[in-house]
């Protein structure tokens, strides 16, 4: 076939692509600051390399700063240029960071609302403390609008929660207090005025009475309601909103007129009752929800439980959120409601909760609330914050309520020990959970006892180094000793305080019949001398004649002589218990 060379070339071929590229270059060149961006990107590609020495990177950052100097505010809103400036802030020295912050002065509100430059604003707030106050002052009178803005909301939230000091937080909070407060703002005032500002709403209301006080509270309530009425914007989850709400409630509690106080509390509760689950994870949000539970009517409390029920498992593992659960267990008289809606959701997740300190506290609170063994004085003091309110709003005796909660939790917790207790007890914290359940839960514990003792059966020491025998784990060994004692040792009385809900003799009997002579003797000659000593003490004090005769035969003179010549830890205690048989 002959090809006619006169036929024109395909218009979509190489020549066409060259034309398109030329047009593209022309368009780029026509854009503002095109040459600046081209030069900046060339240096930026060097500055953002991953594996280069710090000194070399600093040189590239300085070069990059010299390229964009004086033009930062002109290019920062562009997607690629914003990343260039972020690199300067991330890797540059304080001089470069402050220079960028200074050039952007007056534009932070606009930058916070940009999909690209909002990250830069957060970085500057974090890394340029000397500019932070002036940046936040640019947000004043716009805070509520920014909180409801998709991009800017996160900037304000991170600033309030992570970077701002007490005074800087009040700059952001002041917009909540209304225009009248803003008019008399002390944000730019003297040091004394700044100290007053740090007190937040309390400082604003200091010395303010009558109608003006009512106007400030009304403005705060209206602004909070605006947030609550826009749950899709996500602002409800932010700590700044929770702080404003807590300040409002605290001011309401200081209202002299009881009727006004109840009315204001009722109105704010009704405006946010459906979004309370979004608040429990912060300190102030948790305090707010706890306050609502403590002051609420039976109907209010039922509604709050309904709102938080889907989130119970996550709340159990959060330091602040779990306080809401503890308050609900403390103040709600309807224990059938709490058993069905809260207790069952906690106990059903015992396996996962037993592996974290927060989760364990949630389990302990069902059985031994506020015990110093598992709660610090500071934690107990925080939990007790609502006790004065409980005295006025709850009718049931606290001891009766605790007993009913314990009973409601017991069956499932004992089943948990029966099925997974031996495995969980191999964990340091898990062994404490198993010990408390066995000592304090109510009900038939025979199956759980058998499951725990059966884990001790088998060769001692373990033939598998990766899976030590339970007695060779110090915490698990202490757990078995505690169970055979039947309670916890009290340092104040210097004695073991036995619980009425557990029979250590029953456990000792199961131990003898299940573990057997050979393994028990091997444990005694290993790391379990203290455990076996407690076993013998229990049999000596409470066992049957047959059981006493059995253990006497197990631990004869030859065994005692062998123990005396050994280096076994606890041998003197063990020998004393054997000789006392």
What are 416-470's pLDDT values in tens digits?
999 999 999 999 999 999 999 999 999 999 999 999 999 999 889 888 888 999 9
* Judgement on whether residues 303 and 272 belong to the same structural domain of the protein: no
Whether 536 and 551 have beta carbons less than 8 Å apart is answered as yes
Residue 23 has φ and ψ, to the nearest 5°, of: -65, -40
Whether 265 and 360 have beta carbons less than 8 Å apart is answered as no
Q: Is residue 535 part of a domain?
A: yes
Instruction: Spell out the alpha helix ranges (H) of 273-349.
Output: 283-295, 298-308, 312-316, 321-331, 335-338, 344-347
* Judgement on whether residues 576 and 468 belong to the same structural domain of the protein: yes
Tell me: pLDDT of 192 over 70: no
* Judgement on whether residues 135 and 181 belong to the same structural domain of the protein: no
Q: Is residue 488 part of a domain?
A: yes
Whether 280 and 324 have beta carbons less than 8 Å apart is answered as yes
pLDDT at res. 1: 45
Distance from C-alpha of 505 to C-alpha of 454, rounded to nearest angstrom: 17
Confidence band of 187 (pLDDT split at 50, 70, 90): very low
* Judgement on whether residues 318 and 403 belong to the same structural domain of the protein: yes
pLDDT at res. 207: 74
Distance from C-alpha of 167 to C-alpha of 173, rounded to nearest angstrom: 10
Tell me: pLDDT of 17 over 80: no
pLDDT at res. 30: 47
* Judgement on whether residues 570 and 470 belong to the same structural domain of the protein: yes
Q: Is residue 101 part of a domain?
A: yes
Q: Which of the residue ranges 23-37, 93-107, 369-383, 405-419 would you say has the lowest mean pLDDT? A: 23-37
Q: Is residue 286 part of a domain?
A: no
Tell me: pLDDT of 9 over 70: no
Tell me: pLDDT of 5 over 90: no
Residues in a beta bridge with 495: 490
Q: Strands, E, within 409-561: which ranges? A: 487-490, 495-498
* Judgement on whether residues 566 and 466 belong to the same structural domain of the protein: yes
Confidence band of 26 (pLDDT split at 50, 70, 90): low
pLDDT at res. 23: 55
Q: Which of 279, 306, 324 is the last residue of a domain?
A: 279
DSSP-based helix, strand, coil % in the chain, nearest 5: 70, 0, 25
Tell me: pLDDT of 313 over 50: yes
Q: Which of 385, 412, 439 is the last residue of a domain?
A: 412
Q: What is the pLDDT of residues 515-564, one digit of tens each?
A: 999 999 999 999 999 999 999 999 999 999 999 999 999 988 888 889 88
pLDDT at res. 344: 96
Tell me: pLDDT of 188 over 50: no
Mean pLDDT over the full length of the chain: 90
Stronger pLDDT, 22 or 370, i.e. the higher one: 370
* Judgement on whether residues 310 and 394 belong to the same structural domain of the protein: yes
Q: What is the pLDDT of residues 135-165, one digit of tens each?
A: 999 999 999 999 999 999 999 999 999 999 9
Please give the helix or strand (H or E) that residue 42 lies within, else none.
helix 34-47
Output the DSSP codes for 52-65.
S-HHHHHHHHHHHH
In this prediction, residues 325-345 reach a mean pLDDT of 96
How many CB atoms lie under 10 A from the CB of residue 500? 10
Lookup: tokens for 162 = 């992570």
In this prediction, residues 250-257 reach a mean pLDDT of 90
Q: What 8-state DSSP symbol labels residue 49?
A: -
* Judgement on whether residues 465 and 562 belong to the same structural domain of the protein: yes
Stronger pLDDT, 475 or 40, i.e. the higher one: 475
* Judgement on whether residues 240 and 310 belong to the same structural domain of the protein: no
pLDDT at res. 199: 78
* Judgement on whether residues 258 and 359 belong to the same structural domain of the protein: no
Q: Is residue 502 part of a domain?
A: yes
CA-nearest of 174, 191, 180 to 243 is: 174
Tell me: pLDDT of 173 over 60: yes
Q: What is the pLDDT of residues 344-387, one digit of tens each?
A: 999 999 999 999 999 999 999 999 999 999 999 999 999 999 99
Total number of domains constituting the chain = 4
Confidence band of 48 (pLDDT split at 50, 70, 90): confident
pLDDT at res. 419: 96
Stronger pLDDT, 307 or 198, i.e. the higher one: 307
Distance from C-alpha of 442 to C-alpha of 385, rounded to nearest angstrom: 29
Tell me: pLDDT of 53 over 50: yes
User: What's the predicted TM-score (pTM) here?
Assistant: 0.88
Q: What is the 3-state secondary structure (H, E, C) of 135-150?
A: HHHHHCCCHHHHHCCC
CA-nearest of 497, 482, 459 to 535 is: 482
Q: Is residue 524 part of a domain?
A: yes
Q: Which of 98, 124, 139 is the last residue of a domain?
A: 139
In this prediction, residues 209-225 reach a mean pLDDT of 92
Confidence band of 7 (pLDDT split at 50, 70, 90): very low
Whether 128 and 98 have beta carbons less than 8 Å apart is answered as yes
* Judgement on whether residues 257 and 303 belong to the same structural domain of the protein: no
How many CB atoms lie under 10 A from the CB of residue 367? 22
Confidence band of 39 (pLDDT split at 50, 70, 90): confident
Share of residues in the chain with pLDDT > 90 (%): 70
Q: What 8-state DSSP symbol labels residue 467?
A: S
Q: What domain range is 479 assigned to?
A: 457-581
Distance from C-alpha of 384 to C-alpha of 368, rounded to nearest angstrom: 15
Q: What is the 3-state secondary structure (H, E, C) of 184-205?
A: CCCCCCCHHHHHHHCCCHHHHH
Stronger pLDDT, 191 or 490, i.e. the higher one: 490
Lookup: tokens for 249 = 């409630």
Q: Is residue 331 part of a domain?
A: yes
Stronger pLDDT, 1 or 264, i.e. the higher one: 264
Lookup: tokens for 316 = 């159990």
pLDDT at res. 567: 86
Distance from C-alpha of 571 to C-alpha of 168, rounded to nearest angstrom: 63
Share of residues in the chain with pLDDT > 70 (%): 92
Tell me: pLDDT of 193 over 70: no
Tell me: pLDDT of 190 over 70: no
* Judgement on whether residues 323 and 264 belong to the same structural domain of the protein: no
Whether 527 and 569 have beta carbons less than 8 Å apart is answered as yes
Q: Does residue 443 come out as left (phi exceeding 0), alpha (psi in the -120 to 50 range) or beta? A: left
Q: Is residue 211 part of a domain?
A: yes
């Amino acid at each position: 076939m002959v090809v006619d060379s006169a036929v024109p070339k395909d218009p979509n071929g190489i020549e066409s692509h060259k034309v398109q590229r030329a047009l593209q270059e022309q368009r780029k060149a026509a854009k503002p600051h095109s040459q600046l961006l081209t030069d900046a990107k060339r240096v930026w590609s060097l500055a953002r390399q991953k594996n280069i020495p710090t000194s070399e990177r600093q040189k590239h950052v300085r070069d990059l700063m010299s390229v964009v100097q004086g033009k930062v505010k002109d290019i920062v809103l562009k997607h690629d240029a914003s990343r260039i400036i972020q690199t300067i802030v991330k890797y540059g020295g304080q001089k470069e960071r402050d220079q960028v912050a200074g050039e952007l002065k007056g534009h932070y509100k606009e930058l916070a609302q940009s999909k690209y430059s909002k990250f830069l604003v957060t970085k500057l707030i974090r890394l340029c403390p000397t500019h932070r106050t002036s940046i936040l002052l640019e947000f004043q009178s716009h805070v509520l609008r920014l909180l409801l803005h998709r991009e800017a909301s996160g900037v304000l939230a991170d600033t309030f929660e992570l970077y701002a000091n007490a005074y800087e937080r009040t700059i952001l909070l002041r917009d909540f207090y209304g225009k009248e407060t803003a008019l008399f703002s002390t944000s730019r005032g003297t040091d004394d005025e700044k100290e007053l500002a740090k007190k937040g709403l309390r400082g604003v209301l200091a010395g303010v009475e009558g109608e003006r006080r009512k106007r400030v509270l009304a403005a705060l309530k209206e602004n909070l309601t605006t947030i609550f009425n826009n749950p899709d914007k996500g602002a409800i989850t932010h700590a700044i909103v929770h702080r404003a709400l807590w300040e409002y409630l605290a001011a309401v509690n200081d209202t002299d007129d009881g009727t006004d106080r109840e009315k204001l509390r009722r109105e704010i509760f009704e405006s946010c009752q459906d979004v309370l689950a979004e608040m429990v994870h912060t300190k102030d949000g948790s305090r707010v929800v706890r306050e609502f539970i403590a002051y609420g009517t039976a109907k209010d409390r039922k509604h709050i439980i309904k709102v938080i029920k889907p989130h119970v498992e996550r709340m159990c593992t959060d330091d602040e959120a779990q306080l809401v659960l503890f308050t609900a267990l403390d103040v709600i008289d309807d224990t059938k409601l709490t058993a069905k809606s809260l207790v069952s959701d906690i106990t059903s997740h015992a396996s996962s909760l037993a592996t974290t300190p927060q989760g364990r506290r949630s389990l302990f609170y069902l059985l031994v609330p506020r015990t110093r063994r598992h709660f610090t004085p500071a934690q107990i003091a925080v939990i007790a914050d609502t006790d004065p309110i409980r005295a006025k709003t709850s009718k049931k005796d606290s001891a009766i309520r605790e007993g009913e909660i314990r009973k409601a939790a017991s069956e499932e917790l004992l089943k948990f020990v029966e099925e997974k207790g031996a495995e969980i007890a191999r964990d340091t914290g898990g062994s404490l959970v198993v010990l408390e359940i066995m000592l304090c839960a109510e009900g038939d514990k025979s199956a759980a006892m058998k499951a725990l003792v059966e884990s001790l059966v088998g060769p001692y020491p373990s033939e598998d180094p990766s899976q030590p025998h339970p007695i060779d784990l110090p915490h698990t060994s202490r757990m078995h000793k505690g169970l055979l004692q039947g309670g916890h040792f009290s340092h104040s009385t210097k004695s073991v305080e036995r619980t009425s809900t557990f029979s250590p003799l029953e456990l000792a009997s199961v131990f003898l019949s299940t573990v057997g002579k050979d393994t028990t003797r091997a444990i005694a000659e290993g790391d379990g001398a203290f455990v076996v000593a407690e076993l013998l003490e229990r049999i000596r004090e409470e066992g049957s004649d047959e059981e006493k005769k059995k253990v006497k035969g197990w631990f004869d003179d030859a065994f005692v002589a062998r123990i005396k010549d050994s280096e076994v830890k606890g041998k003197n205690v063990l020998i004393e218990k054997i000789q006392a048989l």
